[in-house]
Amino acid sequence: MRQVVCDTCGRTVLLPPGETGACPSCGSALSAPQAEDQTQPLAELVVAAQDDGTTRPIDPTALPPPPSQSQPPVAEASSAASGGTPVWPGDPTTQALPADYAPPPAPSSGASQPAVAAPAPRRGRGLVLSMLALMVVLAVVAAAGVLASAHVFPFAETQPSPTATAVPAPSPTPTGPPGYVLYRDAQGAYQLYHPADWVVEPQGESSSTGIALVKPNSPAGMAILQQPLSGAATNQALVDMQFQQLARQGTITNRQQLADSTVGGATWAQGSADWLPRQQGAVNEHVVVLATVHDGQAFVIELLELPGAASSADQATLDAMLASFTFLT
């Protein structure tokens, strides 16, 4: 070892021959000359042991200014020869470290110190928490939607759902007997079956409309009239009005009131009478009148047949036609 005296602060430092270093007290650069003799005098070791920085005062005014940031001083710790206690390099007071301090091992010569990367900010935990919070919010929204649809949360309903309006199922269309054909009202109010050879003739006067289904070469037939309902007319009142109309066109005899009947799913009032038209050569006819109110309209049906023929084929035909009558509205 070579004893080197710092030109700045006057401290004596031991350096290997030919090596450079920094003063532990002031940081000034030091250089040891090449060794001429490998045996160091004992006096130098004694002086080095006595000059450990703790017994020799240092003049602070003689210290150089701190090194700039661009050129940091190379600090190198040295051990005092007196006790082997390490000191902080670069500290002008050479304050001693605790006795149990163990300095890190010195790196081997020529080995480069690996650069220690600055720790990256710990963002992984925050990202995980954000994702968990988002999943919780989505789960709550989905659960609220399910519960609202199940009416568990009444307050979640912005407006009541519209109530479905029940649509009445149309009455089943009856099947006509063999040899019958279907007639459907032009206004879509009703339909029925009649014998294929019967003639359909339009009927009606003033505001009423209707048809007459007439058997060829016979007074037998069926007339169906419909007109707007005036006032609070009842089924029986409609029957009476129709007999009054027949009385203006002929002579009414043997008037009878009959029990109500069900035709096309509706209840009809009915009555019967014998009627002789005023036309020349007319014969006496038996008339049955049925009347009802349906969908704001007055419906009247007249059945015409010869008197005393209640058990005849014409009566059976008229009964079959009535059984096939169906309202379409």
What pLDDT score was predicted for residue 227?
87
Determine the Cα–Cα distance for residues 46 and 228; give it in Å rounded to an integer. Answer: 141
What pLDDT score was predicted for residue 244?
93
Residues 274-295: tens digit of each pLDDT: 999 988 888 888 999 999 999 9
Of the three residues 84, 102, 120, the one that is the final residue of a domain is 102
Domain match, 322 and 212 both? yes
94: left (phi over 0), alpha (psi -120 to 50) or beta: left
Name the band, by pLDDT with cuts 50, 70 and 90, for residue 253: very high
Prediction pTM value: 0.48
Domain that holds residue 222: 180-327
Beta-carbon contacts of residue 10 (< 8 Å; ≥ 6 apart): 62
Domain match, 192 and 89 both? no
Of the three residues 102, 129, 162, the one that is the final residue of a domain is 102
Residue 276: what residue type? L
Q: Is residue 205 part of a domain?
A: yes
Q: How many domains does the chain have?
A: 2
Residues 117-171: tens digit of each pLDDT: 555 555 556 666 777 777 876 776 566 554 444 443 333 333 444 455 555 555 5
Residues 69-86: tens digit of each pLDDT: 444 444 344 444 444 444
Q: Is residue 108 part of a domain?
A: no
Domain match, 198 and 86 both? no
Of the three residues 61, 76, 102, the one that is the final residue of a domain is 102
Domain match, 208 and 95 both? no
Q: Is residue 68 part of a domain?
A: yes
Domain match, 186 and 98 both? no
Query: What does the pLDDT average to over 294-315?
Result: 82
Q: Are 285 and 307 in contact (CB under 8 A)?
A: yes
Tell me the CATH number at 249: 3.40.1000.10
